[in-house]
Amino acid sequence: MWIRNVVFLGLVVGGIALLTWQLFPEEIPQHAPRFQAETLRDHSFQETLQRVNAAFRKDWAENGVIPAPRAPDLQIARRISLGLTGSIPSLQEIRQFEAHGPEDRIAWWTQGLLEDRRYADYVAERLTRAYVGTEDGPFVFFRRRRFRHWISDQLLANRPYDGMVREMIAGRGLWTDNPAVNFISFTIDPPNQKGPDPDRLGARVARAFLGIRLDCAQCHDHPFQDWKQSDFQGLAAFFARTKHGFAGIYDANKGVYESEERKTLAKYVVPPTVPYSPELRPKEGTWREQLAAWVTSPGNPYFAQATVNRFWAILFGKPLVEPVDDIYAAERRPEALEILAEDFRRHGHDIRRLIQLIVNTEVFQLDSAADHELTDLHDKLWAAFPLTRLRPEQVVGSIVQASSPETIGADSHIFTQLLKFINENDFVKRYGDSNGEDEFAPGHSTIPQRLLMMNGEIVHERTRPGLFAGSTRVAMMAPTDEKAVEIVFLTVLTRRPTEEETAYYVRRLRGEVPEDVLPKDEAEAARFKAQAIPDRNGRFQDLYCTLINLTEFSWNH
């Protein structure tokens, strides 16, 4: 019997030691062990960065705008984490971040995330929305999950973006064997046994890869822009010979794109033509190969600009040029867009380099608040970091991560990953989601969303006391109440509390009811005190729920 007691005691002591190490580790594990600061100190990288910063400063000076100050490092780290992984940093990551020297901390932090599967998976989903939308499509001919996983693998390997796009446009084979062709097979209409839809493909190529709403000229010449109906039809005609069969997607030797004269209803053949810069179209290869080469050509300005604009939007929550899929219509294109696009072209369409450039710009690192008044002009000229609502998957991803001091990622236990997947799917369905084309449109909080945050099962389950719950572990391991409040603030809001916040929440943790929240009526005040949560673990849960329901938690700032 005594042996069993000793073993049990040893397990308990070991468990407590493990929990203590996780909350207060003496040695911080490496975040980006292969980090090489020299790459980011390269002359061309710094030159591009300075040109972008100078372009924004010029706009500020010409308009008499005083920009917001630089944001605290932890706030910048939170933005990067939300943009690249769809979640706030874990307490473990915050410890790693603060243990690194401040000189190149942001670049080091970004590189670590770019080598993380969480980044590849999250950004792959954002890109998949732009390429094929959010619907599952025809199951017989389309595998959205395989397509998303393929994009994730390309991002993790840092494959040049132009190569990815060429394979999506011109790829051949089965959608199960060659996931890239799901971009094509998604448009197959099974009930009518039709092949890939040239019109839908032409519209997707223009919007997703060029940032042009050419489909607005599908039925008639565009009323406000230079695009003609023939421009859209010529682009769609590149897919006229794209067929599907037992071998999957292939290119036939014959096939034409036909249109109909509106007045006479007479049919006529439209040859494949590009809407601009025809000299960039190669003469060799299949029609789709020619189109893919034209779209991704270094001489095609819209390809690089559209890519820069989309990744800028993913990181900021707002595109540099709105709307994200119609750059051509913009009244004004910031000089920074072309500077970054030029660098993207010159350096082999390197997505990681582009992301590093964006997060190291002065505008990305500005605060969203200032001691002076911030006006609409500040927002227009990017003189302060734009306040944007978190997307549904970012909200639930942050709730899940806030419930654990350790990073929840690809290395987490399979049960943890499965539970996270179930939580996120259920939450997003209840919270509400937008389709791929509207994902950067300003949103508004709804009453059901607020009720889901305050009373939803996910928030309750993730914050309630339990042996392995984050709130319980903080309550057990924190040496002081002040330290406990600090840890919870770091875990949920990625910042330390102010002195006033610390004093307030310490009193609440101790079961005290601050005088400023008590009703003036003595009887009501007595009842209020009687209803105070008596259990300390329950008070920790209350603290987590309170911070998660702050407006600050649900916004990128």
Question: Model confidence over 161-219: pLDDT tens digits?
Answer: 999 999 999 999 999 899 999 999 999 987 776 789 999 999 999 999 999 988 776 66
Cα–Cα distance measured from residue 556 to residue 159, given in angstroms and rounded to the nearest whole number: 29
Cβ-contact 485, 499 below 8 angstroms: no
Question: What does the H/E/C string look like for 304-329?
Answer: HHHHHHHHHHHHHCCCCCCCCCCHHH
The CA-based diameter of the chain, rounded to the nearest angstrom, is 98
Work out whether the CA dihedral 185, 187, 190, 192 comes out positive or negative. negative
Cβ-contact 202, 239 below 8 angstroms: yes
The pLDDT of residue 363 = 98
Cα–Cα distance measured from residue 471 to residue 509, given in angstroms and rounded to the nearest whole number: 12
Cα–Cα distance measured from residue 324 to residue 276, given in angstroms and rounded to the nearest whole number: 20
Backbone angles phi, psi at 354, to 5 degrees: -60, -45
Q: Rounded to the nearest 10 degrees, how much is the dihedral formed by the CA atoms of 172, 173, 175, 179?
A: -60
The pLDDT of residue 352 = 96
Query: Please, which residues have CB within 8 angstroms of residue 21's CB and are 6 or more apart in sequence?
Result: none
The pLDDT of residue 27 = 45
Question: Model confidence over 326-365: pLDDT tens digits?
Answer: 887 777 789 999 999 999 999 999 999 999 999 999 999 9
Cα–Cα distance measured from residue 121 to residue 521, given in angstroms and rounded to the nearest whole number: 55
* Domain boundary assignment for the chain: 23-115+298-384, 137-144+171-287, 425-556
Cα–Cα distance measured from residue 420 to residue 414, given in angstroms and rounded to the nearest whole number: 10
Strands, E assignment, 276-420: 388-389
Per-residue pLDDT of the chain (557 residues; tens, 9 = 90+): 556 655 456 555 555 554 444 444 444 445 555 666 666 778 899 999 999 999 999 999 999 999 999 999 999 999 999 999 999 999 999 999 999 988 889 999 999 999 999 999 999 999 999 999 888 877 788 899 999 999 999 999 999 999 999 999 999 999 989 999 999 999 998 777 678 999 999 999 999 999 998 877 666 666 656 778 888 889 999 999 999 988 899 999 988 888 877 777 778 888 999 999 999 999 999 999 999 999 999 999 999 999 999 999 999 999 999 989 888 777 778 999 999 999 999 999 999 999 999 999 999 999 999 999 999 999 999 999 999 999 989 988 998 888 888 888 767 666 566 666 666 666 766 666 665 456 776 666 676 777 677 766 777 777 776 666 777 777 777 888 899 899 999 999 999 999 999 998 888 888 776 666 555 666 655 555 555 556 777 788 888 888 999 999 999 99
The pLDDT of residue 522 = 64
The pLDDT of residue 124 = 97
Distances (CA, A) of 81 to 30, 397, 406: 17, 11, 15
Q: Which residue has the tokens 């600009």?
A: 305
**SS3 call for 251:** strand
